[in-house]
Amino acid sequence: MEFSTNTSVSIHQVKTAALAVGIFTDGVLSPAADVIDRASSGAIRAVMKTEFTGAANSTLVLRNLDGVAALRVVLVGLGKQANYGARVHASAEKAFAAVCITARITEATSTLAAIACPGTTATDRARDAASSVSDAIYHYDATFGKPNPDARPKLKKISLLVARSDSAATELGLKQGAALGEGVSMARTLGNLPGNICTPTYLGETAKKLGREFRSIKVTVLDTKQIAALGMGSFLSVSKGSDQPPRFIVMHYKGKAPAKAAAKTAAKTQAGPVVLVGKGITFDSGGVSIKPAATMDEMKFDMCGAASVLGTFRALAELGLPGEVVGLIPTCENLINGSANKPGDVVRSMSGQTIEILNTDAEGRLILCDALTYAERFKPSAVIDIATLTGACVVALGGVNSGLFSKDDELAESILKAGKQAGDPAWRMPLDDDYQLQLKSNFADMANIGGQPAGAVTAACFLSRFAKAYRWAHLDIAGTAWKGGAIKGSTGRPVPMLLQFLLNQTA
Ligand code: BES
Ligand code: MN
Ligand code: ZN
């Protein structure tokens, strides 16, 4: 996807297959719509009296308007002007992209990014425009016998019409949005790939490929022997139940500090890298504590935390952000063979703490805890783990918010803020010490489950026991990483939140 800016002021003279203009429900035309309306002797105001109200997400296509060079003018509903904000803007760009996709348009022009929304900058709006358009044109066809070329969105180029004074800020936003779009799309495809293709080995190869593509990312992929040498007994206990060998992926991103901000960034670099840890269970059968069959296929999405780390690294490297970020991915399958974990088994984690496995389906925490211990060696400024960790989090928050757990208010606030800005929100959940009592075991330092009540919280409590050496936050993305039902598929969340968090760090 190619994005560009156009600072031409005579909108009605722009030659393009489709030109998007915004309409508010209060009968207010955006400045661009007003220009087109005048040029076409009132064509827009005429349809607003009858078939188009401007409701958010609605569209209407007008063709061959007299006095307008564009072949189509796409009226895009923006909702009530008073409610207009960055997110409404993003969904309007998506609605426009959807029109272009159905019409098989290859090049289109949008004026929507030029409409000022309260509390946003031209950069924000352009970033939103680019990332929501690339999200709209995402298409998965990796595993169809004969991919249908007609089903692939043809849209290749979008230019944004903006005021000359906004063009530099818009270019920056487009660059960020395009990089974010690529990161999200990578995360979505990794999530959507089936478990027999997207194995731990495949994720390791994907990381190595990223390292070859970008010199700013150094990648090391550890195998079973090397994982054992580190003493990761908890992680290995899960991987043993499968024929697929595990991998421990270490990615190290180092961005060049720009000359001006060098001093400021140097201070931050000394504070240590941000470490992102992603759960990489490429298929979760539950193990001996086996899951019900009905929607078990969706457990191929149990590596979406890992996918979000890989996608974020792609976007980071593409943007060449300053600073240092480490990505850690423990990845294996949770299956059932003669060596699989059994309820009652006790394993020793890399931290030395022992764990009684009362339920083999609570495997995510068993692989993450060793990665959290490994993270200590980077003396991180903050560690964020991202995991499709609990069904309980889906019950609590559904598909709207990811669950955020942290004892560090400042870190939590900055993650919540980034999520809001990126339209990829999280909701803070509790982490009181009192919940820790539920993890008591009679035979080990802790049990791997805490019973029915507050299942998402006790999972976070378990992880907190391995994250004492640094500032830490945990994101439970079980409800937000993918959608089920007829629109089954990965969302790429929380790549937008994570990239925004990192952008804010370096701003
Ligand atoms: N990967 C699942 C969590 C999950 C379940 C995500 C359903 C999305 C939808 C995780 O490994 C798991 O099985 N967790 C158990 C924990 C329980 C045994 C304490 C769960 O949530 O049921
Ligand atoms: Mn499980
Ligand atoms: Zn799982």
* Residues 148 and 278 both lie in one domain: no
Pocket-forming residues, ligand 1, beta carbon under 6 Å: 284, 302, 359, 361-364, 388-392, 394, 449, 455, 478
> Can you give the pLDDT at residue 259?
57
Residue nearest to atom 7 of ligand 1 (CA): 391
Q: Is residue 53 part of a domain?
A: yes
CA–CA separation, 392 vs 174, rounded Å?
37
Q: pLDDT at position 305, please? A: 99
**Segment (H or E) for 327:** strand 323-334
Exposed, middle or buried by CB within 10 Å (0-12, 13-18, 19+), for 81? Answer: middle
Q: In this structure, are 349 and 234 located in the same domain?
A: yes
**From the CB of residue 442, how many other CB atoms can be counted at a distance below 10 Å?**
6
Closest listed residue to residue 230, CA positions, set 375, 335, 340, 363: 375
Q: In this structure, what CATH number is given to the domain that contains residue 141? A: 3.40.220.10
**Average pLDDT along the chain, 507 residues, taken 10 residues at a time:** 86 95 91 95 95 94 96 96 85 95 95 87 94 96 92 94 94 97 98 99 99 98 98 99 98 84 53 97 98 98 99 98 98 98 99 99 99 98 99 98 98 98 97 98 98 98 99 99 98 98 92
169 in a structural domain: no
Atom 3 in ligand 1: residue holding the nearest Cα: 390
* pLDDT at residue 490, rounded to an integer: 98
Residue 429 lies in a domain: yes
Candidates 34, 6, 39; CA nearest to 21 is 34
On whether residue 174 sits in a domain, the answer given is no
Residue 494: asked if its preceding bond is cis (omega within 30°), the reply is yes
Whether residues 157 and 223 fall in one domain: no
**Atom of ligand 1 minimally distant from the CA of 450:** 19
Do 113 and 229 fall within a single domain?
no
Residue 267 lies in a domain: yes
Whole-number pLDDT of residue 263: 55
Regarding whether 187 and 154 lie in a shared domain, the answer is: no
Please give the positions annotated as active site. Answer: 291, 365
Point out the ligand 1 atom lying closest to the alpha carbon of residue 455: 19
Does residue 187 share a domain with residue 153? no
Q: What is the CATH number of the domain that holds 220?
A: 3.40.630.10
Instruction: Name the residue at shortest CA distance from atom 9 of ligand 1.
Output: 391
Structural domain for 232, as ranges: 180-506
Tally of CB atoms within 10 A around 287: 25
Is residue 175 assigned to a domain? no
Ligand 1 mutation pick, 291, 303, 390, max ligand atoms within 8 A of CB: 390
Domain assignment present for residue 372? The answer is yes
Q: Which strand ranges, in their side-by-side order, compose the sheet holding 72-79?
A: 2-6, 157-161, 107-110, 19-24, 72-79, 59-63
Pairing mode, strands 217-222 and 426-428:
unpaired
- Atom 13 of ligand 1 has which residue's CA nearest to it? 361
DSSP element (H, E) containing 200: helix 200-213
In whole angstroms, what is the distance from residue 273 CA to residue 251 CA? 12
Q: Are 425 and 469 members of one domain?
A: yes
Contact 329, 278 (CB under 8 A): yes
Whether 277 and 157 map to the same domain: the answer is no
C-alpha angle 376/381/386, rounded to 5°?
75
Whether residues 412 and 337 fall in one domain: yes
Find the 462 Cα to ligand 3 centroid distance in Å: 15
Give whole-number Cα distances, 90 to 57, 95, 133, 258, 360, in Å: 10, 9, 8, 30, 41
DSSP secondary structure, 415-461, as one string:
HHHHHHHHT--EEE----GGGGGGG--SSSSEES---STTHHHHHHH
Question: Rounded distance, CA 472 to CA 490, Å?
Answer: 26
Strands 107-110 and 19-24: parallel
Which of 57, 96, 59 is closest to 75 using CA atoms?
A: 59
**Number of independent structural domains in the chain:** 2
Question: What ranges in 11-106 are assigned the alpha helix state H?
Answer: 31-39, 43-49, 86-102
Tell me if 173 is assigned to some domain: no
Burial of 150 (0-12, 13-18, 19+ CB in 10 A): exposed
Q: How many CB atoms lie within 10 A of CB 41?
A: 11
Q: Whose CA is nearest to atom 8 of ligand 1?
A: 478
pTM: 0.96
Residues 114 and 227 in one domain: no
CA atoms of 445 and 3, how far apart (whole Å)? 55
Q: Which atom of ligand 1 is nearest to the CA of 392?
A: 21
Do the Cβ atoms of 426 and 476 come closer than 8 Å?
A: no
Which ligand minimizes its atom distance to the CA of 403? Answer: 1
Tokens 């439970």 belong to: 476
Residues near ligand 3 ion, CB 5 Å cutoff: 281, 284, 302, 364
Q: By the 8 A CB rule, do 387 and 456 touch?
A: no
C-alpha span between 81 and 87 (Å, rounded): 13
Q: How many CB atoms lie within 10 A of CB 228?
A: 14
Instruction: Work out which ligand 1 atom sits closest to the CA atom of 448.
Output: 19
Same domain, 99 and 239: no
For residue 314, the CA-to-ligand 1 centroid distance in Å is: 28
Question: From residue 185, how far is each of 99, 134, 307, 415 by CA, in Å?
Answer: 20, 8, 10, 22
Q: Could you tell me if 280 and 292 are in contact, meaning their C-beta atoms sit under 8 angstroms apart? A: no
pLDDT of residue 324: 97
Show the tokens assigned to 13.
């003279």
Number of H helices, E strands in the chain: 15, 20
Whether residue 369 sits in one domain with residue 468: yes
